């Protein structure tokens, strides 16, 4: 699928991976809608684009009123939508006993429930496009569940399941469904798990590398996007020999204090 002359909505476009995706897509005559709660951050992204072909929409995707406003704005400003990129997300880490109701609910709502609702809300516009696509930004933790990331992992497993089901459900409407699972990436979100990077042996990508990989993979027709790094190998170990992953991760957290 060529990402040219497309109308593209990116959630979480005010920072990190969403901002980098916006910059990557801001040429080839694409028209972008940058969404996030903080208008200043969205304006900063807009100023970094290669072409001035975007408008900002400051909304909270958890709010149904805000989502309605977003649909209305996209319809009024662009008259349609070709690609919805569900990228907005939050990360809170900690043992289940320590994690607050607020953090659990914020992760479930932002990372899973709001993307589901956004897809539903935008389906009427997407189904009018000649080449519609949905892109859900998950995580490697949506395949390999990590301790201290239990709720986050649950949201990304959910997003992956949703993507697989919708790929089949929407195929008759010609809507492509793409799931992208970056590994750890140096963004605002990664500061929430900084203490775990070394003990868990995580390698971090830059948002620019992640965004380029996602965009080129979409253009090559991929529906599941994973980093081409050692984590890709771990994915197969997880699928075939999950007990090996249990043992390995148990060793890493044995003496860990967070």
Ligand X SMILES: NC(=O)c1ccc[n+]([C@@H]2O[C@H](COP(=O)([O-])OP(=O)(O)OC[C@H]3O[C@@H](n4cnc5c(N)ncnc54)[C@H](OP(=O)(O)O)[C@@H]3O)[C@@H](O)[C@H]2O)c1
| Residues forming the active site | 152, 156
- Which of 31, 46, 87, 217 is the binder for ligand X (CB under 6 A)? 87
Among residues 187, 213, 217, 227, the one that binds ligand X under rule CB under 6 A: 187
Structure tokens at 63: 């709010």
Query: Rule CB under 6 A: is residue 213 a binding residue for ligand X?
Result: no
Helices (H), the chain: 16-25, 39-48, 64-78, 101-108, 114-126, 150-169, 194-197, 207-219, 230-240, 242-253
Q: What share of the chain is helix, strand, coil (3-state, %, to 5)?
A: 50, 15, 35
What minimum distance in Å lies between the beta carbon of 216 and ligand X? 17
CA angle in degrees (0–180, nearest 5) for 104-253-248: 110
In this structure, are residues 232 and 226 in contact, taking their beta carbons and an 8 Å threshold?
yes
Of 7, 10, 16, 21, the one binding ligand X (CB under 6 A) is: 16
Nearer to ligand X, 139 or 217 (CB): 139
Give the count of alpha carbons within 13 A of 48, CB side only. Answer: 20
Cβ closest to ligand X, residue 46 vs residue 110: 110
Do residues 200 and 146 lie in contact, with contact meaning Cβ atoms separated by under 8 Å? yes
Q: Does residue 88 bind ligand X (CB under 6 A)?
A: yes
How many residues bind ligand X (CB under 6 A)? The answer is 30
Binding range to ligand X, per CB under 6 A, among 13-21, 48-56, 127-135, 163-171: 13-21
CB of 191 to ligand X, least distance (A): 9
Q: What are phi and psi of 2, to 5 degrees?
A: -80, 130
Q: Which residues between 134 and 153 bind ligand X (CB under 6 A)?
A: 137, 139
The distance of closest approach from Cβ of residue 207 to ligand X in the complex, given in angstroms and rounded to an integer, is 6
With respect to ligand X, which residue has the nearer C-beta, 170 or 189? 189
> Cα(138)–Cα(181) distance, rounded to whole angstroms?
5
> Do 155 and 139 touch, CB atoms closer than 8 A?
no
Residue 227 is a binding residue for ligand X (CB under 6 A): no
Rounded to whole angstroms, the Cα distance separating 237 from 230 reads 11
Choose the binding region for ligand X from 11-19, 48-56, 94-102, 222-230 (rule: CB under 6 A).
Answer: 11-19
Of 79, 124, 161, 188, the one binding ligand X (CB under 6 A) is 188
**CB 120 → ligand X: shortest distance, Å?**
16
Whole-angstrom Cα distance, residue 153 to residue 29? 36
Longest Cα separation, the chain:
56
Binding site for ligand X (CB under 6 A): 11-12, 14-18, 36-38, 41, 60-62, 87-91, 110, 137, 139, 182, 184-185, 187-190, 207
């Amino acid at each position: 699928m060529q990402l040219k002359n497309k109308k593209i909505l990116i959630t979480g476009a005010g920072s990190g991976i969403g901002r980098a995706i916006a910059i990557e897509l801001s040429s080839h005559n694409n028209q972008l809608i940058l969404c996030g709660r903080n208008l200043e951050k969205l304006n900063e992204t807009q100023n970094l684009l290669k072409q001035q072909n975007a408008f900002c929409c400051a909304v909270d995707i958890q709010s149904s009123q805000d989502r309605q406003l977003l649909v209305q704005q996209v319809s009024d400003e662009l008259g349609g939508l070709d690609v919805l990129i569900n990228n907005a997300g939050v990360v809170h880490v900690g043992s289940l006993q320590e994690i607050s109701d607020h953090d659990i609910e914020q992760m479930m709502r932002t990372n899973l429930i709001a993307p589901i609702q956004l897809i539903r809300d935008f389906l009427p516009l997407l189904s009018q496009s000649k080449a519609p696509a949905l892109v859900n930004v998950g995580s490697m933790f949506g395949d390999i569940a990590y301790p201290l990331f239990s709720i986050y992992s649950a949201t990304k497993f959910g997003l992956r399941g949703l993507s697989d089901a919708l790929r089949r459900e929407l195929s008759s409407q010609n809507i492509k469904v793409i799931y992208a699972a970056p590994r750890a990436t140096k963004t605002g979100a990664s500061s929430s798990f900084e203490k775990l990077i070394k003990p868990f042996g995580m390698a971090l990508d830059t948002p620019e590398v992640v965004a380029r990989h996602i965009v080129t993979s979409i253009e090559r027709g991929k529906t599941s996007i994973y980093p081409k790094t050692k984590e890709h190998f771990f994915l197969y170990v997880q699928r075939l020999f999950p007990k090996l992953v249990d043992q390995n991760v148990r060793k890493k957290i044995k003496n860990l204090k967070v």
